[in-house]
Amino acid sequence: MRLFPLRPAVNPRTPPEEEYDEGDAVESADDVTARILFWRAFVWLMIVFGLQTFASLSPELVETYYSQLAYYYLTRFLSGFNKFIPVVAGELLVVGIVLIYVVWTVWYLRRVFRRESNFLDMLKVLFLQWAWLLVGGFALFLFMWGLNYQRLPIEERMDLERRAEGREETVSVGRRIVEGINRNFTTRDAATATGVSQMTVSQPVMFKSIENAFQLETMLGRASQGGFSDPKPLLFSGAATWLDIRGVYIPFTGEAAYNEKLMDCDLPFQIAHIKAHQRGFAREDEANFIAFVVCIKSNEQYVRYSGYLHGLKVLDFLAKSDMQDVQMLRSMIVPGAMADITARETFGARSKSPVLSGISDSAINIYLRANRIRGGLKNFVEDTPLIVNYMLKNPER
């Protein structure tokens, strides 16, 4: 068995007969090597977790030397390469890894059926391969993006607050968001066939508008600067829809990839969300908040409309204490935009697979908790206090 096993042992080695007495347990050299490789992988995994723990205890160091320096240049370096690749290279990388492991597994099973090896040897090697892939992948993930989860919280970097506001303040913000929706929705956006709105600009124009809004947002500091490749549609957008995945940032290739099956009214916000991840805002609530701010400041009306639609989640927060105000605010929304809102609320139920999306949610929850996000999936809705307090501090919006 080599340092990194590629195939199971065909003829396990045993010591010559004269080296052991009858009845003694005989252990092959490959068995010993397998245990060594397993414990070596375990030790490296603990080292990687130790690095993550140290980073979580030193957010100032992560912010200064990783997020603002090392990652700043790394992600732009990766974008310089992938901008010449028309498809999502990271998606192809994942497919390639899966295919390699499928082929290896079939090859191992063939040797077992031919009795050139035994089933236990095959399981040992497959387990070791997955263990080393996990360790190597996790270490690379932390270096290429994951340490951004341990940087200073956004409220400390941007002088924001997360405190929940009172009813009157929340209603005031909700009213302004509804006004933003109405102001940025026009009858020319309505699609006669489906009743929902359609994108009023081409994708290149939308991409440019979102990127320009990022670069003009002084609140982001150095993260506002450009140098990134354009977002790319996922090749497997259909599968992503079943899994209820709207977009993803791929750290290993520096790509922002989106689900092209999304409704038009959600697409600009989702692209801004992924581009926030690309700029180092790893937490979901922070990426949501940054995407909201960028969208509502865009020079394109439909992008602003998409941002305000996301901000409507403030009503969900208000609904916990006052449904009457929620109903009043929803009644103020123009009919065309209301058609979009109704379609958005049923989009997931109509398109996702209950089983696959459940598995996907569980995997994302584990992923977020592994990156020290205590709330797991709840982190997606924790941007509401940030939005409310931002709107209160910026009444001109």
What are φ and ψ of residue 378, in 5° steps? -60, -20
Residues 6+ apart with CB under 8 A from 298: 209, 210, 212, 213, 268, 304, 307
Angle at alpha carbon of residue 148, lines to 381 and 240, rounded to 5°: 55
Q: What is the CA radius of gyration of the chain?
A: 26
Residues 6+ apart with CB under 8 A from 36: none
Angle at alpha carbon of residue 356, lines to 352 and 360, rounded to 5°: 100
Beta strands in 213-298 (DSSP E): 232-233, 247-250, 255-258
Assign 157 to helix, strand or coil: helix
For residues 60 and 91, what is the distance between their CA atoms, to the nearest angstrom? Answer: 33
For residues 254 and 251, what is the distance between their CA atoms, to the nearest angstrom? Answer: 5
Structural domain spans, the chain: 17-150, 160-393
What are φ and ψ of residue 256, in 5° steps? -100, 115
pLDDT tens by residue, 265-316: 999 999 999 999 999 999 999 999 999 999 999 999 999 999 999 999 999 8
For residues 284 and 373, what is the distance between their CA atoms, to the nearest angstrom? Answer: 10
Assign 346 to helix, strand or coil: helix
Q: Tokens 């490296």 map to which residue?
A: 44
Strand partners, 247: 258
Q: At what angle do helices 301-311 and 167-184 cross, to 10 degrees?
A: 150
**Res. 318 pLDDT band, cuts 50 70 90:** confident
Q: Which amino acid is at 11?
A: N
pLDDT at 23: 44
pLDDT tens by residue, 39-81: 888 899 999 999 999 999 999 999 999 999 999 999 999 998 8
Helices and strands per DSSP (H, E), number in the chain: 17, 3
> Picking from 36-40, 70-74, 336-340, which range would have the lowest pLDDT averaged per residue?
36-40
pLDDT tens by residue, 228-243: 999 999 999 999 999 9
pLDDT at 50: 95
For residues 78 and 76, what is the distance between their CA atoms, to the nearest angstrom? Answer: 5
pLDDT tens by residue, 166-209: 788 889 999 999 999 999 997 555 554 567 888 988 999 999 99
Structure tokens at 112: 């077992």
For residues 68 and 236, what is the distance between their CA atoms, to the nearest angstrom? Answer: 33
Question: What DSSP string describes 170-198?
Answer: HHHHHHHHHHHHHHH--GGGB-TTTSSB-
